[in-house]
Structure 1
Amino acid sequence: MPANPLDVARSLVFYAAFYLGTVGYVTGSFLASFVGEEPLRRVVRGWSQYHRFCARWLLGIRVRLEGTMPEDGVLVALKHESFFEAIDLPAQMQRPAPFPKAELTEIPGWGWALRRYGAVVVERGEGAKALRAMVSSARGLAAQGRPLAIFPEGTRVPTGAQPPLQSGFAGLYKLLALPVVPVAVDSGRLYHRRWKKPGTITLRVGQRIEPGLAREEVEARVHAAINALNR
């Protein structure tokens, strides 16, 4: 189906405003990282809120939150349909700790600021040593009361798709021994890669899942909860 000309125009204005503004925030995060963790976190949250502002007033996208996002050291498992939920995390929660791929930490300036902000860097295919380092980092951030935000499907999926969770999620759940808060997201309907559409993106917070469950049970419960908006 051909793109709606109005959606194309909105998206172009959004891209210009958001990415030009992002240059300033990236510069600010790099400078703030020399001052301390709290100034850096404020810049990151400001960037996320700026994205929310651009999405609302330039794209016509509203955000509806059903439930309450956690503000403690738990594992937050989110559905991943677009870049929206990744960028929106700091606007949704206080000081969330993401799980970025190692390649992102190699970006000059940005990578260093990301490590200073506090993230669990994922070294794929690096074996047991990398896994131990990741678990140690996650435990340290959770001990600070920071929610650990992870996409258990491993990558973005099309709207309506319900792939199985990546095997590493259950292992992380077992090793960290933390509660899991699943979050369903339906951003893929509107926040397309190219031309975005106006409407409402819903985030639905599921019931907290306590640690210690068998792999099959925790995977089934998380899978059902993060896909609650796709039924």
Structure 2
Amino acid sequence: MATLLVFLRSSLFAVAFYTSSVLHVLTALALTPLGGGPLRRIVLSWSATHRLLCRWILGQKVRVEGAVPQGQYFYVFKHESMFETIDLLQLVERPVIVAKQELLDIPGWGKLGQRFGMIGIRRATGAAALRHLQRQTKEALAGGRPICLFPEGTRVPHGERPPLKAGFAAMYQLLGLPVVPVAVDSGRVSPRQSFLKRPGTVTYRIGPVIPPGLPRAQAEALAHAAINALNPPLPGEEAGGDGHSTPA
């Protein structure tokens, strides 16, 4: 019975979310001639609708441990499910999000993503990808906007700790911004590659800010440890503190 209820709630969520997404995209396309202001409001509405649907259909609450500093920072997120790719817009103001280019190749949605400020990366293109990244991040820096990255490169199951992709170090050196690492455990309730989404609490834990200018290995080690703070402790490793929790 419990599995059937989870299936029914997941099905209702899928219908409601994708219907909402289509309506938001069509509205944004219709308002394109009015400039970027309406687009930003529509994107925020889409993200807020996603959080409401997660809360009231799936039974997924959100908890934030620690304060999210606002301003021009380099935010790096643990990546366990689609949840945080949409919900981070509820945490960070006007972010520029670095994502794989395939997302920006989606008809309609991709054009809107580019206009909002997403940066697409084709990892197979090597040096060309780096030059593209440099151009786009310079524009973001000039606009005073924060930049968000999923440094693991793809969604990983909860509990796994893959090394960070080289893109993190390249952007850390290029941007020269303080890094805000964010741990998230969304994979416990919304596992990747699973249609079923279970009720529970998705927790964000905001790690200590990492200053710019550190040696690459040190910056990577600090970021890697912080974004994995909500994973089960490794053998011989003590669990971290509870932190300060605030509802979101």
Contact kept? 1:72, 1:142, Cα under 8 Å: no
1:38, 1:71 → 2: CA distance?
Answer: 20
The equivalent residue for 1:226 is 227
Q: Which amino acid aligns with 1:38?
A: G
Q: Which amino acid aligns with 1:134?
A: L
Structure 1 residue runs without a partner (length 5+): none
2:30, 2:70 → 1: CA distance?
Answer: 27
Structure 1 residues 201-220: aligned runs within 5 Å: 201-220=202-221
Q: Does 1:196 align with 2:197?
A: yes
Measure how far apart 1:9 and its partner are: 1.1
The alpha-carbon distance between structure 1 residues 70 and 121, as it changes in their structure 2 partners (threshold 3 A), is farther
Q: What's the secondary structure of 2:202's corresponding residue?
A: strand
Q: What's the secondary structure of 1:65's corresponding residue?
A: strand
Report the TM-score when normalising by structure 1: 0.94
The alpha-carbon distance between structure 1 residues 194 and 3, as it changes in their structure 2 partners (threshold 3 A), is farther
Q: Which amino acid aligns with 2:162?
A: P
2:25, 2:40 → 1: CA distance?
Answer: 12
The equivalent residue for 2:89 is 90
Contact kept? 1:71, 1:146, Cα under 8 Å: no
**Number of matched residues?**
230
Percent of counterpart pairs with the same letter? 49
Q: What's the secondary structure of 2:168's corresponding residue?
A: helix
Report the TM-score when normalising by structure 2: 0.88
Structure 1 residues 67-78: aligned runs within 5 Å: 67-78=66-77
1:88, 1:109 → 2: CA distance?
Answer: 21
RMSD of aligned residue pairs (Cα, Å): 1.5
Q: Which amino acid aligns with 2:158?
A: T
Q: Does 1:170 align with 2:169?
A: yes
Q: What's the secondary structure of 1:184's corresponding residue?
A: strand
The equivalent residue for 2:244 is none
The equivalent residue for 1:107 is 106
Contact kept? 1:45, 1:91, Cα under 8 Å: yes
Q: Which amino acid aligns with 2:211?
A: E
Q: Which runs of 4+ in 1 moved over 3 A?
A: none
2:138, 2:70 → 1: CA distance?
Answer: 15
The equivalent residue for 1:50 is 49
Deviates more, 1:217-226 or 1:108-117: 108-117
1:98, 1:10 → 2: CA distance?
Answer: 30
Measure how far apart 1:137 and its partner are: 1.2
1:89, 1:34 → 2: CA distance?
Answer: 27
The alpha-carbon distance between structure 1 residues 3 and 153, as it changes in their structure 2 partners (threshold 3 A), is farther
Q: Does 1:156 align with 2:171?
A: no
Measure how far apart 1:113 and its partner are: 1.1
Contact kept? 1:190, 1:196, Cα under 8 Å: yes
Measure how far apart 1:174 and its partner are: 0.9
Contact kept? 1:153, 1:166, Cα under 8 Å: yes
Structure 2 residue runs without a partner (length 5+): 234-248
Q: Does 1:120 align with 2:119?
A: yes
Measure how far apart 1:26 and its partner are: 1.1
Measure how far apart 1:145 and its partner are: 2.6
Structure with greater proportional helix content: 1
Q: What's the secondary structure of 1:5's corresponding residue?
A: helix
